[in-house]
Chains A and B, each alone.
Chain A
């Protein structure tokens, strides 16, 4: 697409380049709505992907309810709740960042996006402490589990799901932080304007989706007894 041909240095966040839409589209609006549709479809694939692990979780939960009940007590509800709050706030800052970009207020947008990355980093930090604490106690997934404090049969399976589900989620958070960094550099290079903010909006979609997954993970893993 055309933005690649913008000469470096000429445009910046305050003076963005004019947008030329792809030659196979009729208008910028046409291009934008197509990109949005593509992103929605991608979200659907993510739902199916995460959905399969949820099905596995439910299946084993029904099969070994006692083990899952006992094992979930080992999780730190306070840290989980803290992370939930962090992600909800990050969704709010993301919305503000996207709206600012849509209105052409690129400086404000950059500020909000940096805050979002910061909150994502906080989430990962909390997760890091949770994980290392578990490892320290000997709580590992499945076959590597050697925690003395909880010996209910099949409890290690609960932690397999815990680590896989939160691990895949955390991976998505890190990818999201990289994507936000990418759109910040694009804003700084003057490639985002009131007329063209597709990447910002789509990364916003993604970020909200990742938050939404956590909204399901938190009660399923931490709260449900």
Chain B
């Protein structure tokens, strides 16, 4: 790769050579790629666990793993996918690469801190994975007390890993806020700021404000094990529901850490491939902040059946419904952008359309769950599993993979194979719906989540779901193969193959070490002035 890149002159990939130059780099583009590789590795690992879980549930009475192993697989699938994949996926990989370039900056505000965040993330991941070999953890990713206090010691390592990884998230958020505040190119006013950056800004605020609460909660949980402090332990007068409040005070906003960046990616892709100015620019930008704001006052909807007061249930239910408003504003604005546009169905656009379809289903079923009476029936069923997979995989992962295709030419200087990308997308979208739609039905019929064995009456839905998971695997393997092969031997992309107007496309592909060379880009217009098919 380095050899062909040299033909285009000096760029960030060949500016320095050797493994050591990567490990010690403070270049945001290289750090973004290192995050990307790590996130993809953990996505693969967490995915394997999911496939085994699905295989286990395929036919009732034919388990492939024993019950204890199943509990560990379920915990690992959740913890890895949440803390090591979906939360860092878009901000830390795509965001790291694209954010400074969209601003016309040479780097993030604190480049060394950026590299430190990456190593903190790796350290957290290492602790969490060490537990795999030391008894493992079987609490589920939510570590609910008092079970998490009573179960074996392996869970401490996972908790500590999540605690450490949290700091990586905090520092990335902090870095991004200061970068957006301080390093905008001349002329890049707030009203010209690309929507991905609005979304990342809102995400960063949540990362900075919510993650510390998780951090202290996990510290207290470790203290429960080591010093028996008893704050969350009913046997010592403590309150396990307080743990749930603290946990969800972070982990509900964390859902928006996951989805907001994906919404940002979609907001970039849709106008480019519709050749039309984005509809409702300011509404989309403000909706990101609206979602971030509401994110902090809805955590109680995870405690509807935990003995919370009826008044609290009512208030949290109402507040949760408000999430639908800014979210709806975004979805309608994207549809409005596409209306009468000259749509090109390149892979990024396919994923954007997939996002709109899947995320809308995931979002609307969230309104079902926010409704108290319905939630009591659906709590701890597969309906909930289907709902949040539609949001997190159908939303975040669609945005992530769509973004990977969209910026692939910028990152590598090559074009990916459009035909392979299309078939991969088809496999993923079919596989996804086949995996998770039956879970909605099984959930309404009462199929419980987290169980190692299921009743035969759910066999049809479970079999469909498991077959769907194989299509998902096939699709993601095709994406990986396409990316790796095209990065090695794809045709040259040129600097701006999509004719996009945001700043990163004004640079070379791949960009030089300092992003724009000696000249600082100056912004004179809004980044969404698309005027039909040929402009």
10 extra A-B contacts, CB within 8 A, seeds A37-B178, A143-B229: A24-B109, A24-B111, A34-B183, A140-B227, A142-B238, A143-B233, A153-B237, A164-B229, A164-B231, A168-B219
The residues of A that contact B208 with a CB separation of less than 8 Å are: 41, 44-45
- Is the CB–CB distance between B216 and A45 below 8 Å? no
The residues of A that contact B220 with a CB separation of less than 8 Å are: 53, 56, 164
- Is the CB–CB distance between A141 and B228 below 8 Å? yes
Interface set, chain B 12-64, CB cutoff 8 A to A? none
- Is the CB–CB distance between A49 and B237 below 8 Å? no
Partner of A24, one of B105, B170, B238, B249: B105
The residues of B that contact A51 with a CB separation of less than 8 Å are: 213
Q: Which of A12-20, A154-162, A209-217 contacts B (4 or more CB under 8 A)?
A: A154-162
Q: How far is the CA of A38 from the CA of B171 in the complex (A)?
A: 9
Q: How far is the CA of A140 from the CA of B223 in the complex (A)?
A: 12
Interface set, chain A 27-55, CB cutoff 8 A to B? 30, 33-35, 37-38, 41-42, 44-46, 48-53
Task: Given A1-B112, A52-B246, verify A45-B236 contact (CB < 8 Å).
Answer: no
A: interface residue count bin: 35 or more
Most B-side CB within 10 Å, residue of A50, A51, A52, A156: A52
Distance (Å) between the CB of B237 and the closest chain A CB? 5
Q: How far is the CA of A22 from the CA of B108 in the complex (A)?
A: 11
Distance (Å) between the CB of B108 and the closest chain A CB? 8
The residues of A that contact B178 with a CB separation of less than 8 Å are: 34, 37-38, 41
Partner of B229, one of A22, A34, A52, A141: A141
- Is the CB–CB distance between B107 and A160 below 8 Å? no
Answer whether residue B472 sits at the interface, using C-beta atoms and an 8 A cutoff.
no
Partner of A143, one of B215, B228, B239: B228
When A and B form their complex, which 8 residue pairs have the shortest distance between CB atoms, in order from nearest? A143-B228, A142-B230, A49-B212, A24-B106, A160-B229, A48-B212, A24-B107, A45-B212
Chain B interfacial positions (CB closer than 8 Å to A): 100, 105-113, 170, 174-175, 177-178, 181-183, 208-213, 215-217, 219-220, 223, 227-231, 233, 235-239, 242, 246, 249, 514
Distance (Å) between the CB of B514 and the closest chain A CB? 7
Q: Chain B's interface: helix, strand, loop or mixed, by majority?
A: helix
- B-contact bits for A54-65, CB 8 A (1 contact / 0 none): 001001100010
Task: Given A44-B209, A49-B215, A56-B242, verify A38-B109 contact (CB < 8 Å).
Answer: yes
- Is the CB–CB distance between B223 and A34 below 8 Å? no
The residues of A that contact B174 with a CB separation of less than 8 Å are: 38, 41-42, 45
Answer whether residue A144 sits at the interface, using C-beta atoms and an 8 A cutoff.
yes
Distance (Å) between the CB of A37 and the closest chain B CB? 5
The residues of A that contact B242 with a CB separation of less than 8 Å are: 56, 59
The residues of A that contact B175 with a CB separation of less than 8 Å are: 38
The residues of B that contact A42 with a CB separation of less than 8 Å are: 174
The residues of B that contact A23 with a CB separation of less than 8 Å are: 106-107, 514
Partner of B213, one of A48, A160, A161: A48
Task: Given A45-B174, A46-B212, A52-B216, verify A142-B233 contact (CB < 8 Å).
Answer: yes
Answer whether residue A163 sits at the interface, using C-beta atoms and an 8 A cutoff.
yes
Distance (Å) between the CB of A148 and the closest chain B CB? 18
Distance (Å) between the CB of B248 and the closest chain A CB? 12
The residues of A that contact B227 with a CB separation of less than 8 Å are: 140-142, 144, 160, 163
The residues of B that contact A161 with a CB separation of less than 8 Å are: 231
